[in-house]
Structure 1
Amino acid sequence: MKAGTRALRHNAASRLLRAGTPLPTISAVLGHASQDSTTVYLSMDAEHLRACVLPLPQGAVR
Protein backbone atom coordinates (compact mmCIF):
# COMPACT_ATOMS: atom_id res chain seq x y z
CA MET A 1 0.00 0.00 0.00
CA LYS A 2 2.81 2.42 0.87
CA ALA A 3 4.41 2.10 -2.60
CA GLY A 4 1.05 2.71 -4.28
CA THR A 5 0.44 5.85 -2.27
CA ARG A 6 3.92 7.15 -3.03
CA ALA A 7 3.45 6.51 -6.76
CA LEU A 8 0.13 8.35 -6.69
CA ARG A 9 1.65 11.35 -4.91
CA HIS A 10 4.66 11.36 -7.28
CA ASN A 11 2.32 11.31 -10.28
CA ALA A 12 0.21 14.13 -8.89
CA ALA A 13 3.28 16.25 -8.09
CA SER A 14 4.78 15.65 -11.55
CA ARG A 15 1.54 16.58 -13.31
CA LEU A 16 1.21 19.75 -11.26
CA LEU A 17 4.81 20.68 -12.06
CA ARG A 18 4.29 20.09 -15.81
CA ALA A 19 1.21 22.31 -15.62
CA GLY A 20 3.40 25.13 -14.26
CA THR A 21 2.13 24.97 -10.68
CA PRO A 22 4.50 26.73 -8.26
CA LEU A 23 6.38 24.54 -5.77
CA PRO A 24 4.70 26.10 -2.68
CA THR A 25 1.31 25.18 -4.13
CA ILE A 26 2.39 21.61 -4.87
CA SER A 27 3.69 21.35 -1.29
CA ALA A 28 0.36 22.54 0.05
CA VAL A 29 -1.60 20.10 -2.12
CA LEU A 30 0.55 17.21 -0.84
CA GLY A 31 0.17 18.45 2.75
CA HIS A 32 3.88 19.11 3.29
CA ALA A 33 5.02 21.66 5.84
CA SER A 34 8.37 21.99 4.06
CA GLN A 35 9.07 22.38 0.34
CA ASP A 36 12.11 20.14 0.88
CA SER A 37 9.72 17.24 1.45
CA THR A 38 8.09 17.92 -1.90
CA THR A 39 11.30 17.79 -3.93
CA VAL A 40 11.49 14.03 -3.30
CA TYR A 41 8.42 13.62 -5.49
CA LEU A 42 9.80 15.89 -8.22
CA SER A 43 13.40 14.71 -8.41
CA MET A 44 12.82 12.25 -11.24
CA ASP A 45 10.81 14.45 -13.58
CA ALA A 46 13.07 13.66 -16.55
CA GLU A 47 11.33 16.04 -18.95
CA HIS A 48 12.00 19.06 -16.76
CA LEU A 49 15.49 17.84 -15.84
CA ARG A 50 16.36 17.71 -19.56
CA ALA A 51 15.21 21.31 -19.91
CA CYS A 52 17.86 22.30 -17.33
CA VAL A 53 20.76 20.80 -19.28
CA LEU A 54 23.04 23.32 -20.97
CA PRO A 55 24.05 22.65 -24.56
CA LEU A 56 27.66 21.68 -25.27
CA PRO A 57 29.73 24.50 -26.71
CA GLN A 58 30.34 24.15 -30.44
CA GLY A 59 33.41 22.02 -31.09
CA ALA A 60 33.38 20.43 -27.63
CA VAL A 61 34.60 16.83 -27.42
CA ARG A 62 31.82 14.37 -26.64
Structure 2
Amino acid sequence: MSWNGALGGTELGASLLALAPALLGMLLGQWLRQRISAVLFKRVFFIGMGLLGLHLLIKG
Protein backbone atom coordinates (compact mmCIF):
# COMPACT_ATOMS: atom_id res chain seq x y z
CA MET A 1 0.00 0.00 0.00
CA SER A 2 2.95 2.28 0.56
CA TRP A 3 3.92 2.28 -3.10
CA ASN A 4 0.34 3.21 -4.11
CA GLY A 5 0.36 6.24 -1.82
CA ALA A 6 -2.35 4.80 0.43
CA LEU A 7 0.06 4.33 3.33
CA GLY A 8 2.63 7.00 4.11
CA GLY A 9 5.89 6.69 5.97
CA THR A 10 4.38 7.81 9.27
CA GLU A 11 1.62 5.20 9.14
CA LEU A 12 4.05 2.51 8.07
CA GLY A 13 6.37 3.35 10.97
CA ALA A 14 3.50 3.32 13.47
CA SER A 15 2.34 -0.05 12.14
CA LEU A 16 5.81 -1.52 12.51
CA LEU A 17 6.09 -0.16 16.06
CA ALA A 18 2.73 -1.73 16.93
CA LEU A 19 4.03 -5.16 15.94
CA ALA A 20 6.33 -5.44 18.97
CA PRO A 21 3.62 -5.21 21.67
CA ALA A 22 1.30 -7.40 19.59
CA LEU A 23 3.90 -10.16 19.34
CA LEU A 24 4.77 -9.77 23.01
CA GLY A 25 1.10 -10.09 23.92
CA MET A 26 0.75 -13.27 21.86
CA LEU A 27 3.80 -14.81 23.52
CA LEU A 28 2.53 -13.83 26.96
CA GLY A 29 -0.89 -15.30 26.17
CA GLN A 30 0.63 -18.61 25.05
CA TRP A 31 2.81 -18.75 28.16
CA LEU A 32 -0.15 -17.98 30.43
CA ARG A 33 -2.46 -20.43 28.65
CA GLN A 34 -0.07 -23.29 29.46
CA ARG A 35 -0.05 -22.42 33.15
CA ILE A 36 -3.75 -21.92 33.96
CA SER A 37 -6.88 -23.86 33.10
CA ALA A 38 -8.63 -23.29 29.78
CA VAL A 39 -11.78 -22.10 31.56
CA LEU A 40 -9.88 -19.49 33.59
CA PHE A 41 -7.94 -18.36 30.52
CA LYS A 42 -11.17 -17.86 28.55
CA ARG A 43 -12.75 -16.00 31.45
CA VAL A 44 -9.77 -13.64 31.83
CA PHE A 45 -9.57 -13.14 28.06
CA PHE A 46 -13.25 -12.27 27.65
CA ILE A 47 -13.29 -10.01 30.70
CA GLY A 48 -10.32 -8.18 29.18
CA MET A 49 -12.10 -7.88 25.84
CA GLY A 50 -15.22 -6.60 27.57
CA LEU A 51 -13.24 -3.99 29.48
CA LEU A 52 -11.51 -2.91 26.29
CA GLY A 53 -14.87 -2.59 24.53
CA LEU A 54 -16.29 -0.61 27.45
CA HIS A 55 -13.29 1.71 27.35
CA LEU A 56 -13.80 2.27 23.62
CA LEU A 57 -17.49 3.04 24.16
CA ILE A 58 -16.74 5.55 26.89
CA LYS A 59 -13.76 7.26 25.25
CA GLY A 60 -14.82 6.77 21.62
Question: TM-score, normalization: structure 1?
Answer: 0.40
Which structure has the highest helix share of the two?
Answer: 2
Higher relative contact order (CA 8 A, sep 6+): 1
Q: Which has the larger radius of gyration?
A: 2
Question: TM-score, normalization: structure 2?
Answer: 0.41
